[in-house]
Structure 1
Amino acid sequence: MIPDRIMRKIERCLALSQSANAHEAGIALRQAQRLMAANGLSEQDVAIASVTEHSVSAQAGKTPPRYLEALATLINAAFGTQAVYSVSLDEHSHLIRWLGQWRFLGTDGASQVAAYAYEVLQRQLIRDRKAFQQGLNKRIKRATRIRRGDAYAEAWVMGARASIIPMEMSEEAVAVLEAYTARRFGGDLKALTPRQRGKLRHHDFTAVREGFAAGRHVQLHSGVEQERREELTHG
């Protein structure tokens, strides 16, 4: 394990190597190369070291519903991150109960912001879905209530997506995240197949329209900042 101070020094030297001052850039690059050679590091090793992980509860079990997978995808698009879904057994439960979480991977602090944004929007999405279901006719079947709630939530995410500007990621940034993922998880990662609630029926499309309209009012970045301000106020 390379000490953090060495990694930070190499990163600073590589940053200075981009200086407009050719003499300064040359010195910084040679210093970075010497440090990397002394510690057996490649440029990819240094780049991978800049990737961080931040986890957040998915409020789901072994298999997340499709609307939460869609929300994680939206967050990735907004902040230039990748999300990995992982599960663990609830040690505090007497029954076999799985706890799911999203691990957001990113550089330059993106993973922390992405995890926080996901947590904020997930809370709002679950609250809106529950409120929608409470407004349904009390006599409808439980399966119908769940199906319409899921339809509402998926449309909510679609509406929210319309208000974000996807982050443009360079080929280098994508390659770094892919290399980090391969090194971190090896061949253990599998394609995620989220849980779905069956085909929609005619009356379910009211849920789709209402969910999309509600999602259109979501302001991703301002919503996150509002949460931060509220936490500071209550703290």
Structure 2
Amino acid sequence: MTPEELKKIADKIAKCMALAASDNPAEAEAAKRQADALMKKYNLTSGDVAAAAVHEEYSDTKSVYRPPVYLCGLANIIADAFGCHAVVTLGLDFGFAKRNTRVKFMGLGIKPELAAYTFDVLRRLITRDRAKYAESLRKNLKRDTKIRRADLFCQAWVAGIAQQVRGFAGSEAEQQAIEAYKAQKFGENLKTDQRSGAEAKHGNDWKSEAAGFDAAKDVSLHKPVQAKRGALLGTCR
């Protein structure tokens, strides 16, 4: 069975299951029987039906390398805010063929698209702000110190954004559907990123964190996200 065929059948079963909650006992019983018959015929479980409603939208990180810790943190914050789950698929570089690393957002309805769009916007902003901040550091600083302070800046930037991103978080049923989808698609192959972020080592490192928090205060997501949401809802009519 192709994914398209599975989704079509699962949609039909889902509609039957919804009708099974009808206040009309006869209608509810008939719908439940039909849902049970379809699941038996196609050897599907309720988890299969739920997972079929989940879809992905990805954001290209513009790099073949593993994203820095602060970008992974940003992806998770956005995923939580939109009731999605985020998974990073690493890029490849064989010289003759390249594939950039992607952040995939899995969820229901328009939420994955909104999450991916939000991540695209914020990734560009934090990349810009990091470059500007790194340029402002003293020229005679050691390279490791510059990298650490730029990373501390970004981590604080992400923490500041976390206070602004508010949720369209999904229901428990939606989260269960996403978990079922992940289990079907990835099985035991998903790995948790165990890396830790940059840590302040010297007295002046706190200035980098303060600068990151300050930079995040200037970032507003309300207008672009609402515009994207309106556009997506328009395409569904």
Normalised by the length of structure 2, the TM-score is 0.82
Distance in 1 (CA, whole Å) between partners of 2:175 and 2:8 is 26
| 1:233 aligned partner | none
Partner amino acid for 1:10? I
- Which residue of 13, 22, 33 corresponds with 1:10? 13
Deviation at 1:29, TM superposition (A): 2.8
| 2:107 aligned partner | 106
Deviations 1:76-101 (A, max 9, x none): 2201111111113135x36x977322
C-alpha spacing 1:120/1:17, structure 2 compared with 1 (3 Å): farther
Q: Does the residue aligned with 2:100 lie in a helix, a strand or coil? A: strand
Q: Does the residue aligned with 1:202 lie in a helix, a strand or coil? A: coil
Deviations 1:25-61 (A, max 9, x none): 3333332222222222111110011111222123444
Q: Does the residue aligned with 1:189 lie in a helix, a strand or coil? A: coil
| 1:118 aligned partner | 119
- Which residue of 47, 60, 79 corresponds with 1:57? 60
| 2:235 aligned partner | none
Deviations 1:112-136 (A, max 9, x none): 2211211111111111111222222
Deviation at 1:220, TM superposition (A): 3.4
The unaligned stretches of length 5 or more in structure 2 are 232-237
Distance in 2 (CA, whole Å) between partners of 1:188 and 1:5 is 27
The alignment yields a C-alpha RMSD, in angstroms, of: 2.8
Mapped contact 2:19–2:28 kept (Cα < 8 A): yes
Q: Which runs of 4+ in 1 moved over 6 A?
A: 227-230
Deviation at 1:150, TM superposition (A): 0.9
Higher alpha-carbon deviation: 66-75 or 24-33: 24-33
Distance in 1 (CA, whole Å) between partners of 2:111 and 2:216 is 23
Distance in 2 (CA, whole Å) between partners of 1:63 and 1:8 is 36
Deviation at 1:188, TM superposition (A): 1.5
Distance in 1 (CA, whole Å) between partners of 2:227 and 2:148 is 31
Mapped contact 1:65–1:194 kept (Cα < 8 A): no
How many pairs were matched up?
228
Q: Does the residue aligned with 2:101 lie in a helix, a strand or coil? A: strand
The percentage of counterpart residues that share the same residue type is: 36
- Which residue of 45, 49, 62 corresponds with 2:48? 45
C-alpha spacing 1:228/1:32, structure 2 compared with 1 (3 Å): closer
Mapped contact 2:154–2:212 kept (Cα < 8 A): yes
C-alpha spacing 1:110/1:226, structure 2 compared with 1 (3 Å): closer
| 1:69 aligned partner | 72
Q: Does the residue aligned with 2:119 lie in a helix, a strand or coil? A: helix
Deviations 1:146-173 (A, max 9, x none): 2211111110010011123345554433
Deviation at 1:23, TM superposition (A): 4.1
Is 1:144 paired with 2:114?
no
Distance in 2 (CA, whole Å) between partners of 1:31 and 1:229 is 36
Mapped contact 2:55–2:112 kept (Cα < 8 A): yes
Q: Does the residue aligned with 1:215 lie in a helix, a strand or coil? A: helix
| 2:174 aligned partner | 173
Mapped contact 2:48–2:180 kept (Cα < 8 A): no
